[in-house]
Structure 1
Amino acid sequence: MFKWFKNIGPGALVAAAFIGPGTVTLCTLAGVNYGYSLLWAMTLSIIATIVLQGMAARVGIVTQKGLATVIKEQISSPILRKLAILLILAAIVIGNTAYEAGNISGAALGIEAIFGNSSFNFYPFLIGLIAFILLYVGNYKFLERSLIALVLLMSSSFLITAIITKPSLNTLFKGMFIPSFPENSMLTIIGLIGTTVVPYNLFLHASLVKERWKSKSDLKFAKKDTLISIILGGIVSMAIIVAASSINNSSITNGADLAQGLAPLYGDFAKYFLGIGLFAAGITSAITAPLAAAYVANSCFDWNAGLKSLKFRIVWSIILIVGVLFSSLKINPIEIIKFAQVSNGILLPIIALFLLWVVNKTSVLGEFKNKVSQNIISVIIILITIILGFKSILKVFEIF
């Protein structure tokens, strides 16, 4: 374990990306409103994330190309290629914009928990400015690692809190492995999947692994990195649900309310720990989401642009600005975060289908293409996400 932490890989960054403010908020709401009954959604999400991120990593290492580039190269028809690019761009841009609003809103909740409300709703603009400076300068690695350390502090707090609440192991395992659908829980279930299996992470992971590993023989290292990272991240998410199930207040509306999940461990200091963690998670995610969108656009349009090129900066600037504007509107930030996760849950099947198609092509992966067992698991996961996504759309429009 020590050696793994010393040689931390792309999988850990992916895990850190999905343990953002959206995860903390939505898992807290799931625990408060439904207890342990939605833990199964996290179990499904962990399995789906391991499978999908593993395939994305395999594409990146074997081809030494980004996922968007590979997909584009495999479509021979110019018309279909343009449609595919448009679909990928739409999915990533829409998803990342919603996700960015959730990231900034989550970071704002963190500041709000510590310093109280801002009469002019100033916090989203402050967070947007910080993220803009870090992205523009490009020298944010040290700060990013510091922020991830803060997120790990908050994650550890939830793990300890979950243990302190002394959950019933029988009820816990029942919630983890037996699906149930409590009344009005469908959007929360989709959100839990959307906050864990993040579509833009598939593109980000494929790009990161090709920078870290250059040989096909390194696939075993990438697999181990992904497996350990995602499982640890999933355990933290489950711990948040377990810890939050002890909260008696069903009307969670701000960071101070969310801090009740940490109250058994830290008492009056809970809001400070949660506030710092939410802020750290929000800033970290507010950097990665726009970057991922810029990388996808870079691949789709064959720009070959660097981090500091004008085109690259324009893409991430648009995502960041729109995210700030949405998070600064007089909308309950909890609702923005929930919408971000639900939108990701709906967009996931689109990206997953493209990924599944690519990893089954011999011309792309050769002997490393998907096996039958991998295809069966992948198809089941995609079908489940399609069904749940369809139900969530009906739910939103109150058709079903």
Structure 2
Amino acid sequence: MRNPFKNIGPGALVAAAFIGPGTVTVCTLAGIQFGFSLLWAMTLSIIATIILQETASRIGLVSQKGLSQVLRDELPAGILRKSVLGLVLAAIVVGNAAYEGGNISGGVLGLQALGSTGILEVAGYAINGYSLLIGAIAFILLYIGNYKVLEKVFLLLVILMSLSFVITAILTGPQLLMVLKGALIPQFPDGSILMIVALVGTTVVPYNLFLHASLVNQKWKDRSELSAAKKDTIVAVILGGLVSMSVIIAAAAITGQEVDGASGLAQSLEPLYGSAARYCIGLGLFAAGITSAITAPLAAAYVAQGCLNLGGDLKSRNFRLVWMLVLVLGVGVATFGIKPIEIIQFAQVANGILLPVIAGILIWLANRSTLLGNYQNSKLKNIISVCILIVTLILGARAILSVFGLL
């Protein structure tokens, strides 16, 4: 009781990672187009994410290895191991590099919603100063290479993000019974299927599984602490889900309007609920952007470390080179407005394949007595995990089909 934050672990980073600008945008569009009726999809997403993240963290704590290193050790040598590790590298390292520009741009939109554009004229070129600022903050925090520092910073950012979006939702004065109905009773309004898939897909994130497994053994070293790790996961994922729900609830206040994303939501809410709504959305979007801008390079570095068997820690040269590459590419994309469409499409396809593959491998690993001993999955967990695997297959297929314009 003297220190209520003592048992807070990597859950804060995991929650911050899946509430990125993309999540905020999808939730905004879901609220505007369908009101409260798709809140249940977030409830489903929270349950699925808790199961998958708890499995990944259990594997990481018991083995004291990152998930990519566990895959390297447990998969039989040969084409299968090379294929899986190659897919993981392509989807997460290349994918996070492609998405990093969007993470930083999301943080920039949040700052712009507060007032200034942040555009600087340098030698005749328009440069976004905010993206450089966010990149610099991310660089400093990652270069320090101290897990405890990252944990505390992310806890503060998650609190800021949570308060910002929850206060915005409260300002709109939603009807509590309608909110509960939307969160607990599945509804399928016309044209909502793709949005439901998008809501689940933006919460169940492949790179978070690798990030969690790597970070959990930075915090805890003994199997007796599995209970603390599980509580940390459940609390963090539920908190993250509530933040996403808050965005949907806030956006539902302006149903019927043409709003393209979170920054548009801030502008639309201001005339109705005052400048406080705009500032809350702006701060929340900034926190969502900067946290994802830090966790994406961090996850990429952990994945490369395990897949390529690089060894070392947060301060090792190879580890730093990977996250620096991802971060620099992201800052360049956000600063100069570059749109690497082909790379993003490749990353979407790779992630679409990776999600069900990793979900299936997680179930396999969670049932290996040689790896987990007495901490294997129970029958109930296996049944729930198989159901989630089916959902990930649908999500993966949707991601791949959408890239090729078939959806």
TM tier relative to shorter chain: 0.7 to 0.9
Are the counterparts in 1 of residues 165 and 284 from structure 2 also a CA contact under 8 Å? no
Match of 2:115 in 1: 115
Partner of residue 10, structure 1: 10
Q: Does 1:276 align with 2:258?
A: no
Counterpart in 2 of 1:307?
A: 314
Matched positions, count: 398
Question: Which whole-Å CA distance do the structure 2 matches of 1:343 and 1:151 have between them?
Answer: 29
Report the alpha carbon displacement of residue 340 of structure 1 after superposing the two structures with TM.
Answer: 8.7
Determine whether 1:173 maps to 2:180.
Answer: yes
Whether the 8 Å CA contact 1:39–1:175 is kept in 2: the answer is yes
Question: Is residue 51 from structure 1 mapped to residue 51 from structure 2 by the alignment?
Answer: yes
Cα distance change on mapping 1:71 and 1:225 into 2, 3 Å: same
Q: Which one of 146, 157, 160 corresponds to residue 153 of structure 1?
A: 160
Q: Which runs of 5+ in 1 are unaligned?
A: none
Mapped pair 1:362 → 2:351: no
* Alignment-derived partner of residue 29 in structure 2: 29
Q: Deviations over 1:252-308 (max 9, x none)?
A: 246542215764896124333332332233222211210111111111112112323
State the partner residue of 1:80: 80
Counterpart contact for 2:297–2:327, Cα < 8 Å: yes
Q: Which residue of 1 aligns with 2:329?
A: 322
Given that 2:254 and 2:269 are in contact with CA atoms closer than 8 Å, whether structure 1 keeps it comes out as no
> What letter matches 1:97 in structure 2?
A
SS at match of 1:282: helix
1:60–1:210 CA contact under 8 A, matched in 2: yes
Q: How does 1:1-400 map to 2 (within 5 A)?
A: 4-117=4-117, 118=119, 120-122=126-128, 123-138=130-145, 145-146=152-153, 148-248=155-255, 250-253=257-260, 256-260=263-267, 263=270, 267-328=274-335, 330=337, 347-400=354-407
Q: CA deviation at 1:386?
A: 1.1
Q: 2 CA distance for matches of 1:57 and 1:48?
A: 14
* Range with greater deviation from structure 2 (243-252 or 232-241): 243-252
Amino acid at match of 2:87: L
Moved more, 268-277 or 230-239: 268-277
Deviation at 1:331, TM superposition (A): 7.5
Q: CA deviation at 1:203?
A: 1.3
What is the distance in 1 between the residues matched to 2:170 and 2:106?
Answer: 25
Over the aligned positions, Cα root-mean-square deviation in angstroms equals 3.3
Preserved CA contact (<8 Å) 1:103 1:337: no
Q: Deviations over 1:61-106 (max 9, x none)?
A: 2111111111111122333222221111112124322442221111
- Name the residue aligned to 2:123: none
Deviates more, 1:279-288 or 1:150-159: 150-159
TM-score (norm 1): 0.87
Deviates more, 1:383-392 or 1:354-363: 383-392
C-alpha separation between the residues in 2 aligned to 1:38 and 1:235? 13
Q: Is the 8 A contact 1:38 1:176 kept in 2?
A: yes
Contact 1:109 1:275 in 2 (8 A): yes
* Maintained 8 Å contact 1:60/1:67: yes
Runs of 4+ in 1 over 6 A off after TM superposition: 336-343
Q: Percent identity?
A: 58
CA distance in 2, matches of 1:91, 1:242: 32
CA distance in 2, matches of 1:262, 1:12: 28
Match of 2:5, SS state, is helix
SS at match of 2:406: coil
Contact kept? 1:46, 1:230, Cα under 8 Å: yes
> Any unmatched runs of 5+ in structure 2?
121-125
- Structure 1 window deviating more from structure 2 (352-361 vs 182-191): it is 182-191
2:171 touches 2:277 (CA, 8 Å); kept in 1?
no
**TM-score under structure 2 normalisation?**
0.85
Q: Verify the 8 A CA contact 1:68 1:296 in the aligned structure 2.
A: yes
8 Å contact kept, 2:143–2:315: yes
> How big is the shift at 1:20?
2.9
1:368 to 1:185, Cα distance in 2 relative to 1, 3 A: same
Paired AA for residue 386 in structure 2: V
Q: What is the one-letter code of the residue matched to 1:203?
A: F
Shifted more, 143-152 versus 76-85: the winner is 143-152
Contact 1:50–1:230 at 8 Å: present in 2 too?
yes
| Amino acid in structure 2 at the alignment position of 1:226 | T
